[in-house]
């Protein structure tokens, strides 16, 4: 008998183990293919609209292609520079050539914008230099290929004041550039260009954390008046936590109440809880706008009842944001808690009471641990939903109530700064991931106890 055979003790029939495995595999394959084909559409959807965009965020947040594309010669030449003092003359010459290359104008604008993210004012410097160079070329009798850089592309203020380079004597590239703007003799601008030639850049991620690479090359905090993002992250976290807590405080007793109602009344209340989900968040937020604004219904009522002499600021502040967000999130808190409560048979609490536990002990020692999975699901769901809120704070919040999403949208729509938008998105994703991780640890610790 070979080792491949297995023998049935009772019948003595021997089976070829390998043949058995083969036929098992054959039978299983159809099943596997079927299962796979069932999830394939969703898998493809997720890949295209979820996984790839997120990977793209990661790439965008460190991408550093603008400077090599806009200033190819400079990129090549600056490799020779050791970083001490000013770069060698060849770099100045390369930059001059890059900036004079009119065919590459769009890419130069891109590079200028990218460098401006690193060192404020760089955009203006580039604009001024391009126009200065073309003017200089005009005076030197060179053929004019294009007008000076149009003012329109400057976003960060326009300092293209004509320089008084009236003397048309032959100049070295260093003299030409520093002649147009003295800032070219400062090391930090060249270092910014050098950082722009790195294969990847930490710039956006650092910016998103209120950090920058200082002139000495070390990472430092940005000046206090530029620090916005840490506050923003803390605010996003704080607002989400507040909304979650309020929703929990309001939702848990309601779920408990519904649970204690007779079945038909319970389903009616549950229906009422779910009705708001049928309308869009935008509509519900606007409704709060109508209710809470200075001339709104609630204020009318308050004034009518003489509860307050003046109309209260209920909206465009933190209060309005919390009210509207809690309202939107409440069903997502109640649903999981209620569904878990419904699954707990009354015999558990009865057993606890029959064993001599007073109502408080029954609640904290038996009922709460049993409902915990529902609480955890509700808290997690609402908290993570809140982290990504955009429309509601944008409509009912003031300038100091905007959350991460708002700044991501602003970076994309207004500043066209995809790198920063991606970096902020990644921070948001990391917060969510961290929340899940902490929660999982906490939840399993609580349950394992």
Partner 1 sequence: MPLNRNQFVRFVNVHKAYDVNTLVVKDLNLDVANGEFLTLLGPSGSGKTTTLMMLAGFEEPTSGDIILDGRSINGIPAYKRGVGMVFQNYALFPHMTVGENLAFPLQARGMSRADQKTRILQALDMVKLSAFADRRPAQLSGGQQQRVALARALVFEPSLVLMDEPLGALDKQLRDHMQLEIKHLHQRIGVTVVYVTHDQTEALVMSDRVAVFNEGRIQQVAAPAEIYQNPQTDFVAQFIGENNRLEGRVAEISHNESTIVLKDGTTVRSGSVAGTTSGEKRILSVRPEAILVGSDAANLPNSFYGNVKEIVYLGDHVRLIIPFGGPEELSIKLTHRRAAAISVGDQVSFGWKPEECRALV
| Under rule CB under 8 A, residue 25 binds partner 1 | no
# binding residues, partner 1 (CB under 8 A) = 22
Q: Which two tokens stand for residue 70?
A: 């806009």
Over the range 192-221, which residues count as b (16 or more CB within 10 Å of their CB) and which as e? bbbbbbeeebbbbbbbbbbbbbeeeeeeee
Strands 14-16 and 5-7: antiparallel
Q: Which two tokens stand for residue 342?
A: 């419904």
Question: Minimal CA–CA distance to 197: which of 106, 118, 96, 105?
Answer: 118
Instruction: Give the angle subtended at the CA of 63 by the CAs of 429 and 409, to the nearest 5°.
Output: 50
CA distances in angstroms from 344 to 145, 259, 349, 352, 353, listed in the order given: 80, 10, 9, 13, 15
Residue 357 Cβ vs partner 1, minimum distance, rounded to whole Å:
4
Residue 362 Cβ vs partner 1, minimum distance, rounded to whole Å:
8
Residue 19 Cβ vs partner 1, minimum distance, rounded to whole Å:
37
In the list 4, 120, 290, 351, the residue contacting partner 1 (rule: CB under 8 A) is: 351
Comparing CB distances to partner 1, the nearer of 69 and 342 is 342
Using the contact rule CB under 8 A, the part of the chain among 216-224, 306-314, 325-333, 350-358 near partner 1 is 350-358
- What string marks each residue from 329 to 348 as x (binds partner 1 by CB under 8 A) or -? ----------------x-xx
Comparing CB distances to partner 1, the nearer of 94 and 352 is 352
Residue 33 Cβ vs partner 1, minimum distance, rounded to whole Å:
35
In the list 354, 413, 414, 445, the residue contacting partner 1 (rule: CB under 8 A) is: 354
Instruction: In whole angstroms, give the CA distance from residue 406 to residue 401.
Output: 10
Over the range 281-298, which residues count as b (16 or more CB within 10 Å of their CB) and which as e? beebbbebbebbbeebeb
Residue 265 Cβ vs partner 1, minimum distance, rounded to whole Å:
16
| Under rule CB under 8 A, residue 353 binds partner 1 | yes
| Under rule CB under 8 A, residue 421 binds partner 1 | no
Instruction: In whole angstroms, give the CA distance from residue 69 to residue 196.
Output: 10
DSSP state of 200: B
- Cβ contact 46:88 at 8 Å: no
| Under rule CB under 8 A, residue 410 binds partner 1 | no
Helix and strand counts by DSSP (H, E) for the chain: 21, 4
Interacting positions 363-402 with partner 1 (CB under 8 A): 365-366, 369-370, 372
Residue 30 Cβ vs partner 1, minimum distance, rounded to whole Å:
35
| Under rule CB under 8 A, residue 443 binds partner 1 | no
In the list 357, 394, 412, 429, the residue contacting partner 1 (rule: CB under 8 A) is: 357
In three-state secondary structure terms, 331 is: helix
In the list 362, 380, 420, 427, the residue contacting partner 1 (rule: CB under 8 A) is: 362
Residue 249 Cβ vs partner 1, minimum distance, rounded to whole Å:
23
Using the contact rule CB under 8 A, the part of the chain among 70-78, 327-335, 353-361, 417-425 near partner 1 is 353-361
Residues lying near partner 1 in the complex (CB under 8 A): 345, 347-348, 350-359, 361-362, 365-366, 369-370, 372, 447, 449
């Amino acid at each position: 008998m070979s080792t491949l055979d297995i023998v049935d003790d009772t019948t003595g029939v021997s089976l070829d183990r390998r043949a058995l495995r083969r036929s098992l595999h054959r039978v299983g394959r159809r099943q596997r293919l079927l299962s796979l084909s069932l999830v394939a559409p969703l898998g493809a959807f997720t890949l295209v609209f979820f996984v790839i965009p997120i990977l793209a965020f990661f790439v965008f947040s460190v991408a550093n292609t603008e400077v090599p594309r806009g200033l190819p010669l400079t990129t090549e030449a600056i490799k020779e520079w050791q970083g001490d003092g000013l770069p060698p003359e060849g770099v100045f010459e390369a930059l001059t050539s890059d900036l004079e290359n009119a065919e590459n104008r769009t890419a130069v604008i891109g590079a200028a914008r990218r460098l401006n993210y690193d060192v404020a004012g760089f955009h203006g410097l580039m604009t001024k230099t391009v126009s200065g160079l073309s003017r200089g070329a005009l005076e030197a009798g060179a053929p004019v290929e294009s007008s000076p850089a149009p003012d329109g592309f400057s976003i960060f203020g326009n300092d293209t004041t004509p320089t008084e380079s009236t003397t048309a004597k032959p100049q070295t590239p260093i003299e030409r550039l520093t002649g147009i703007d003295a800032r070219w003799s400062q090391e930090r601008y060249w270092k910014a260009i050098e950082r722009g030639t790195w294969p990847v850049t930490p710039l956006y991620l650092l910016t998103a954390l209120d950090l920058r690479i200082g002139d000495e090359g070390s990472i430092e905090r940005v000046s206090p008046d530029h620090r916005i993002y840490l506050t923003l992250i803390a605010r996003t976290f704080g607002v989400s936590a507040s909304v979650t807590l309020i929703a929990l405080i309001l939702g848990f007793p309601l779920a408990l109440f519904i649970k204690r109602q007779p079945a038909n009344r319970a389903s009616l209340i549950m229906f009422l809880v779910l009705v708001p989900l049928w309308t869009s968040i935008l509509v519900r937020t606007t409704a709060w706008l109508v209710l809470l604004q200075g001339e709104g219904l609630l204020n009318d009522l308050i004034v009518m009842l003489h509860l307050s002499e003046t109309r209260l600021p209920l909206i465009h502040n933190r209060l309005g944001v919390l009210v509207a967000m809690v309202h939107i999130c409440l069903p997502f808190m109640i649903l999981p808690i209620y569904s878990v409560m419904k699954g707990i048979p009354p015999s558990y609490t009865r057993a606890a009471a029959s064993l001599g536990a007073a109502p408080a002990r029954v609640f904290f020692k038996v009922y709460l641990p049993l409902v915990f999975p529902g609480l955890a699901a509700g808290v997690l769901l609402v908290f993570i939903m809140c982290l990504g809120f955009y429309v509601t704070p944008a409509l009912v919040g003031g300038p100091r109530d905007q959350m991460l999403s708002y700044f991501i949208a602003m970076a994309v729509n207004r500043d066209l700064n995809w790198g920063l938008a991606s970096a902020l998105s990644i921070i948001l994703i990391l917060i969510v991931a961290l929340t899940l991780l902490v929660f999982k640890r906490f939840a399993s610790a609580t349950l394992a106890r």
